[in-house]
Amino acid sequence: MATYTHLTDRTPHVSADELLSGFRPSERFGEVSFNTYRPDPAQPSQQAAVDALRAFGEIINRGGSTNGGGFFGKLFGGGKKKDDTKAGLYLDGGFGVGKTHLLASLWHMVEGPKAFGTFVEYTNLVGALTFRKTVEALSHYKLVCIDEFELDDPGDTVLMSRLMRELAEAGVKLVATSNTLPGALGEGRFAAADFKREIQVLADQFDVLRVDGEDFRHRGLPAAPAPVADADFDALVDNRFGGLGTVAIDDFEALIDHLSRVHPSRYRQFIDGLDAIAWRNVTTITQQAVALRFVVLADRLYDKDLPIIASGVPFDRVFTEEMMTGGYQKKYFRAVSRLTALSREGMLDETEA
């Protein structure tokens, strides 16, 4: 028999050490390696990325520098003065080409203290610990991996520009993934031209590796399953989730309101121990700040592969049309795609291939 609980009853308190210990690949990428990555023979840049990251990891494990001659001299700025040496790599490519798999493979390969998290998780970490304490903690790491790198607002731009610079100066190696080239970060979100200097500082920390492949954005969103009728909600939850361990059942609007009282840096702990999610009366989110907070929760649910049953509007309508075509559309597209996959698993018993 399942145990039923409510996310709205949870307000986790997490220490700095507990926050930092969570900076590791999610369960989806808990055991990946370069050997389990399957490069597309038609896309030679994928194999090139594997080779470059594997070599980069070997250099870090040897405690060596990325400065020098030969292949890595060219790749990481060989022949430059020491101060101009790039701190790491930036994997640029579309959705679904395996950038997160590659990043997690490097994390697993590198020995010693290291961190792996999404861009949003690092900005949230600063918000939870303060900037100086975050720098002090991460400066002792050999490697900092930043998945889904993107700039959302001017504050993020200044913050991450300074954080990347200070970590690089401390000798930390940095590897990031993104769908946007470093010099184009922030475009469409805010007056990026006004922060050209900060964006350039960010770009200067990395050498870019392009990872080509079919961009999943061109496939369109997968069809969202029809929400369950309110009258059938309890029966479906019992039928589908009754044999699981712990299931969180919440009214959607109450949950969205509660999220404002839980710092996004704690969302991993917020859903800890759950086996499934059930939401009553999902509604369209109309406020941008609320929507972006919900995106973080969607990412953490996807990390843990928690199936969802929901009533109300389908997940392809959880954000407004303006949001889906605006500056944050990549985030919303990703969230809808992930929530749809989890709801198909919960309501249709389908899992991703």
pLDDT of residue 331: 84
Task: Tell me the mean pLDDT in the region 85-98.
Answer: 78
Strands (E), the chain: 3-5, 88-92, 114-118, 143-147, 173-178, 206-210, 246-251, 276-282, 308-312
241, pLDDT greater than 50:
yes
51, pLDDT greater than 80:
yes
| Nearest Cα to Cα of residue 323 among 293, 279, 281 | 293
pLDDT of residue 104: 96
pLDDT digits (tens, 9 = 90+) for 56-69: 999 999 986 554 44
73, pLDDT greater than 50:
no
Task: Tell me the mean pLDDT in the region 220-242.
Answer: 87
Which segment, 12-21, 77-86, 252-261, is predicted with the most confidence on average?
252-261
Percent of the chain with pLDDT over 70: 80
Q: What type of residue is 134?
A: T
Residue 312 gets which letter from DSSP?
E
- Which of 352 and 104 is assigned the larger pLDDT? 104
- Which of 119 and 267 is assigned the larger pLDDT? 267
Strands (E), 78-185: 88-92, 114-118, 143-147, 173-178
Q: Structure tokens of 55?
A: 């070599």
Phi, psi of 311 (to 5 degrees): -115, 170
pLDDT digits (tens, 9 = 90+) for 296-350: 999 999 989 999 999 999 999 999 999 998 878 878 988 998 899 899 999 887 6
At 120 the three-state DSSP class reads helix
pLDDT of residue 120: 83
Which segment, 86-95, 219-228, 313-322, 327-336, is predicted with the most confidence on average?
313-322
184, pLDDT greater than 90:
no
Task: Tell me the mean pLDDT in the region 198-202.
Answer: 57
* Residues in CB range of 186: below 8 A, 6 or more apart: 151, 157, 192, 195, 199
pLDDT of residue 293: 93
Q: Structure tokens of 173?
A: 């190696």
Question: In this structure, are residues 315 and 278 in contact, taking their beta carbons and an 8 Å threshold?
Answer: no
353, pLDDT greater than 60:
no
Task: Tell me the mean pLDDT in the region 176-186.
Answer: 61
Report DSSP letters for 259-295, one per residue. HTTS-GGGHHHHTTT--EEEEEEE--B--HHHHHHHH
pLDDT digits (tens, 9 = 90+) for 8-25: 999 998 888 888 988 999
Binned at pLDDT 50, 70 and 90, residue 197 comes out as low
Q: How far from the centroid of its chain's Cα atoms is residue 90's Cα?
A: 15
Calculate the alpha carbon distances from 134 to 62, 137, 166, 167, 168 in Å.
26, 5, 11, 10, 14
pLDDT of residue 128: 86
196, pLDDT greater than 60:
no
Question: In this structure, are residues 252 and 281 in contact, taking their beta carbons and an 8 Å threshold?
Answer: yes
